[in-house]
Amino acid sequence: MHSVAANPIVLSIAGFDPAGGAGVLADIKTLAANDCYGVAVVTATTVQNSRAAERLFPLPAKLVREQLDFLTADIAPRAVKIGILANAELTAMVVDFLQHLAGVPVVLDPVLAATSGLPMLEPEAIALVTERLLPLCTVITPNRNEAARLSGLAADTPPQMEAAARALHQRGAANVVVTGGDLDKPSDLFFDGQQAVLLGGDRVRTSNTHGTGCTFSAALAANLALGKQVSDAVVQAKAYVTAALKQSYPVGAGAGPLNHFFRWHEPPRAQTDPVPAEEHIGR
């Protein structure tokens, strides 16, 4: 009988986007496309489509914790990706959960707001993230606005992005990727605690950019689960997202999702249009 090796399991702790471009649905697709098996626990649901996110509904922290405990008692993840945490109760609960899950790489995508402006994390929870959650993370992947909010420093230029990354490392994050796909020349700043590396790239001209931050962080978690070094995992996640953007296609009237499964099929229609978009980071 043919034996199939099991793919590494990655746990997504994130929100639910009904349009499927971001949140746990994007995470699960990304993990599958990167040779991992994704499991997920939802922290919040949204009223959302391709045009905008209108409302956020956090789930009770006790219920989310029960799901996490029951799931991981049976299925042990090789990596964890964290997205929307919504409020202080959920943030504190996830911190406690991670403290009982030692030795597993953790990727935090610190989602503070949707692209449309809807807040995704209550202000009182930000201190919990910076003081208690960052020290538990293997990699954090804030965009420039999130890096500025979390560090208290501007992150408008690559030198400022490096300063913000160093500040976030000092607050406990082992590795930091400040994403800058919206810069004139798209670039991400990777800091591993010792050296800062600017990862450049060409702009992908597409309006299908919904969920790029979720996809990047999930691809990074997948590569860590596969045993890659952090620096290699970052580069490979960036390459995956860029290719998924290049082969994306519209879903809905607003910003469409990435083509997570571009390796398995051709897009049903041409993806490019005159609208410049972030290379791989944005929500």
pLDDT tens digits, the chain, 283 residues: what are they?
A: 455 668 999 999 999 999 999 999 999 999 999 999 999 999 999 999 989 889 999 999 999 999 999 999 999 999 999 999 999 999 999 999 999 998 999 999 999 998 778 899 999 999 999 999 999 999 999 999 999 999 999 999 999 999 999 999 999 999 999 999 877 788 999 999 999 999 998 788 888 889 999 999 999 999 999 999 999 999 999 999 999 999 999 998 989 999 999 988 754 554 444 333 333 333 4
DSSP for 161-207 reads: HHHHHHHHHHTT-SEEEEB-TTSSS-EEEEE-SS-EEEEE-PPP--S
Is 210 within a domain? yes
Is 281 within a domain? no
**Per-residue confidence (pLDDT) for residue 209, from 0 to 100:** 85
Is 2 within a domain? no
187 and 200 Cβ atoms separated by less than 8 Å: yes
CATH for 91? 3.40.1190.20
Span 255-264, pLDDT tens digits: 999 999 998 8
Q: b or e along 44-65 (b: 16 or more beta carbons within 10 Å of the residue's beta carbon)?
A: bbbebbbeebeebebbebeebb
- pTM as predicted: 0.91
Say how far apart CA 23 and CA 14 lie, in whole Å: 6
Span 145-166, pLDDT tens digits: 999 999 999 999 999 999 999 9
Cα–Cα–Cα angle for 74, 75, 80, nearest 5°? 140
Q: How many domains does the chain have?
A: 1
Is 4 within a domain? no
Range of the domain at 95: 9-246
Is 263 within a domain? no
- What mean pLDDT, rounded, does the chain reach? 91
